[in-house]
Amino acid sequence: HDLSAQASVRVGLEQELRRALERGQLSLFYQPKISLHDLQLIGAEALIRWHHPTLGEISPDRFIVLAEENGMIIPIGDWVLEHACQQMHLWNQTYEPFGPVSVNLAGAQLHQPKLLGRIQQLLRTYDLKPGCLQLEITENSIMSQTEEALEALHQLKHLGVQLAIDDFGTGYSSLSYLKRLPLDTLKIDKSFIRGLPDDPHDAAIVRAIIALGRSMQFSIIAEGVETQAQQTFLAAEGCEHIQGYLISVPLSATEFAETFLRTSI
Ligand code: C2E
Ligand code: MG
Ligand code: MG
């Protein structure tokens, strides 16, 4: 590819992304999170999917970055929040409660002055307790926030929404700063889980993150758990929760409910 060809692919994808929302090409999949204590379901993460009629499935790793650069992340992020809340409302009609659904929040969303009001409105509209919603914010985007954006986090926490730091270990956290954040959960990045249990570096890093998180009274979850040996290592080291292909790949809302939820009637 020469540069101009790459640029025109990018512009084309941007135009398609602008239309994806109104054309109903976006959806949410759900991946279960379980407790290592009793292997019970404790929550789920909502993950966006883009199915394009001719380009097929486009990975969020590709289009979320694009959306963050061109501002589309604001309407897309709002769509994700609304759909996750609507889905929880629907599940509440039929199924037993199972723990919070987490939504990934981009750094730019924290800068919206209306974010808190919007979340309060969604919780009211869909008759949800604030604790039903968890927001996952990556370590990198949390660490580059302004004071105002951090104030928004404190307000969300005060409302009762749960907060998690995603992809932990890949950024540059100042520990004193980390301690001042109103976080509930620390999510260990999957890049450190991959080498478990044999890679001594990954094992040392994961042990250290678990010890750090526990001493700061965060709940700890590992993402990207693919093997029984990884699960066993994490359980022995005191990690509370796991998420990954070992339990399930992300599923459509219907498949997730059929596989993991218990009817309440
Ligand atoms: P993330 O939030 O860290 O999500 C975890 C990613 O790991 C997901 O990729 C998930 O499908 C994948 N995964 C789950 N289990 C395993 C496993 O056992 N092994 C491996 N190798 N991967 C696993 P996905 O769905 O492609 O999403 C990629 C990233 O895109 C997410 O990383 C998140 O940063 C972003 N993203 C996804 N949905 C949204 C969204 O609604 N809003 C925003 N702002 N970002 C999103
Ligand atoms: Mg996440
Ligand atoms: Mg992650």
Nearest ligand, CA 105: 1
Contact 35, 42 (CB under 8 A): yes
Judged against a pLDDT cut of 90, whether residue 173 lies above it is answered with: no
pTM tops 0.85: yes
Atom of ligand 1 nearest to the CA of 73: 44
pLDDT at 174: 84
Judged against a pLDDT cut of 90, whether residue 171 lies above it is answered with: no
Judged against a pLDDT cut of 90, whether residue 7 lies above it is answered with: no
Asked if omega into 75 is within 30° of 0 (cis), the reply is: no
Label residue 63 by pLDDT band (50, 70, 90). very high
The answer, yes or no, to whether any atom of ligand 1 lies below 6 A from the CB of 169, is no
CA–centroid distance, residue 265 to ligand 1 (Å):
33
In the chain, % helix, strand, coil (3-state, to 5) comes to 50, 20, 30
Atom of ligand 1 nearest to the CA of 28: 41
Report the distance separating Cα 222 and Cα 210, nearest Å.
10
H-helix or E-strand containing 214?
helix 200-215
Residue nearest to atom 3 of ligand 1 (CA): 167
The answer, yes or no, to whether any atom of ligand 1 lies below 6 A from the CB of 206, is no
Nearest ligand, CA 102: 2
Cβ neighbours, 10 Å, residue 55: 12
Strand 241-242 with 56-58, pairing: unpaired
Q: Which residue out of 58, 72, 223 has the highest number of ligand 1 atoms within 8 Å of its CB and is therefore the one to mutate?
A: 223
- Between the alpha carbon of residue 108 and those of residues 36, 88, 154, 157, 236, the distances in Å are 34, 24, 16, 18, 38
The tokens for 236 are: 């022995």
Which has more pLDDT, 86 or 176?
86
pLDDT at 132: 97
